[in-house]
Amino acid sequence: MTKRDGPRVVQTLRDSILRMELRPGTILDEAELATRLDVSRTPIREAIIELIAGGLVVRDGRKAKVAPLDFDEVPKLYDALLVSSRLVHRLAAENRTATDLTSIEKHMRAFEVAAETGNGVNRSEANQDFHKAVSQAAHNRYICEFYDRVLVDTIRLARACFSNARETGDAKNSATLQSHLATTVAHHREIYSAIKDRDVGRADAIAVEHYRLTKNRIMTVLFDGARSMASVEDLSLDTWAMT
């Protein structure tokens, strides 16, 4: 084990959970993970502890498993998203620095590039990076931790809903998807502009509008015959690679 194994293991497991490579409810076997990631069990154990603290893993007796997604809790999740998002965007408009603006703009552009690739995972991660940059600009650790936790759970929910509809080049040309991506790009630009101008009221308003866009897309999937979590495809752990 090297000193870099710990952070790399945490990141690998975290990414695998968010990408649905490790499904909700999956038992995390320390020995198996250590073998597959070619590390000792110590960094695996430490990573699991850190992921438990972050809400991505839970204890099940003496075992640890990927935190389940409770679809009955979706309304509460989106209530939390609305409240935390408004707080973060208002504070970002008030407290942002020039460095924050550079970071937000960089991730905004990165999402726009990802929106053209047709790769759902890349888009999801670029979107998360953009919103985390906005969160960091708020400069309030307590509110940011609340928002980031909610953001992760909404991303997991989205990946669960859309994982079976693996977005290929054909899916990229879907009118519904293209319309959603275009609106998302427009919202991101408005968010950046409001924060840049220190316009708290406008930042708050676009946060609400963006929340509605996100919520409506998920609700459409959930209530128009969405696939259940039981049908999510298993992905082999053999595809993992620590970077």
Indicate if 17 and 43 belong to the same structural domain.
Answer: yes
pLDDT for 19:
80
Instruction: Convert the pLDDT of each residue in 209-227 to its tens digit.
Output: 999 999 998 887 776 544 4
Helix, coil or strand: residue 27: strand
Q: What is the DSSP string of 44-65?
A: HHHHHHHHHHTTSEEEETTEEE
Give the CATH number of the domain where residue 111 resides.
1.20.120.530
Note whether 137 and 17 are same-domain residues.
Answer: no
Q: 176 with 129, same domain?
A: yes
Q: Is the pLDDT of residue 22 over 60?
A: yes
Same-domain status, 90 and 172: yes
Closest CA to 216 of 141, 158, 175, 131: 158
- Stated pTM of the model: 0.77
d(CA 96, CA 86): 15
Rounded average pLDDT over 64-84: 91
Domain contains 241: no
The beta-carbon contacts of 214-220 under 8 Å, at least 24 apart in sequence, are 214/81, 214/154, 215/78, 215/81, 217/180, 218/74, 218/78, 218/154, 218/157, 218/158, 218/161
Return mean pLDDT, the chain: 85
